[in-house]
Structure 1
């Protein structure tokens, strides 16, 4: 692997801490308030001021490194150590668009250590991260949204799940707005490489506004597919697919195969 790639990995480690899935650890870090994190990425362990802390961001960084090493044919045995040190404080909490956020000020240092060289990166940044719990909702939609990152092959992929009942016709307009808001929020929070929108537990009969959720810019920026079931099979019509600008898949394996093809095409253009 070229030296530039190893330096790139060191840079990304710091960047991921400031953006990639940090929301999952916000509550823990808020409770800590401030401190010095020492993260051993290879063992996926983290310590704050010497006390062990369970941080999902450490696992996310490890998974990304594993995927990148595999993709670039790098011998992991050459890596002696990968560490991330973060001096952080949660300066305040505030409210933006009726969502509770935490304001972080961090100084990051990452190291990838080989026998003959150490690749080091630094990043100082202050930023806001939305907390998982909404203070209040501005939507009357009964639809619920959750998200989870899974491994699809060697690639971490963001699953966005919608459950509940999409109201028919114009009554579903606010449901569509809620879905757009949640997809934007999930993608902005996770910065995923690939996305699967899972509608298998969503009951849908008719209504055109839902197609707007699949045309938003944040979703179009990376490969994505949409899963449906018998509950939402009404989406699988030529008219809806034309409005949505995408296809819908009843079979998850077929959807994953299509996603992998999109990924392969995108990488061939890089």
Structure 2
């Protein structure tokens, strides 16, 4: 089943394309890593696909009503700001808003989704702590839990593992991969190419607003792509423990 379809999606800043005629189709069961250098257009692409930015071309998500979109896709923006000093459980519960009738209180089904999201992110013991008093990495985990509690078939996250320590980065990437194996779909912008190579089923490589490569990690992370887009050399090897990818040196 197709969960997101983009056709010539373009975002202009004045007359300059920030995202330039990007087309792709994303189906259920994929863990898609959106990669590219700073300023490549990753955040702009995701926000335009969600209908949060004016764009040309077509996005299947932006064509939906707000209510339908909230049941179809959960969004985690790059900004980690938590404005109100609420406890973790209350913040995660906000993910259930699309499922609640107007004026309704949290029900047993909602409580189960909240508890499951807290458990998935290892936050059971944090539920009564004030979210604004947590570290940046802990806040990121809480916001991922809020996204999980929304229980949508599609999750879109902008740099979800930024600021997490290595153990929580790996745990989160494994969780996303497991969700994809279970039939849900994750699209996440990522700067750690090693983790993207190990855990994503598909990579979309953006450069200067254009989609320059789309496919499995071993096809996208070819030396010619890495040198042309990132300006670095890299080590790539498929091992018994999975793909190992490590940028090595900048190119003169």
Q: Which has the higher strand share?
A: 1
TM-score (norm 1): 0.27
TM-score (norm 2): 0.29
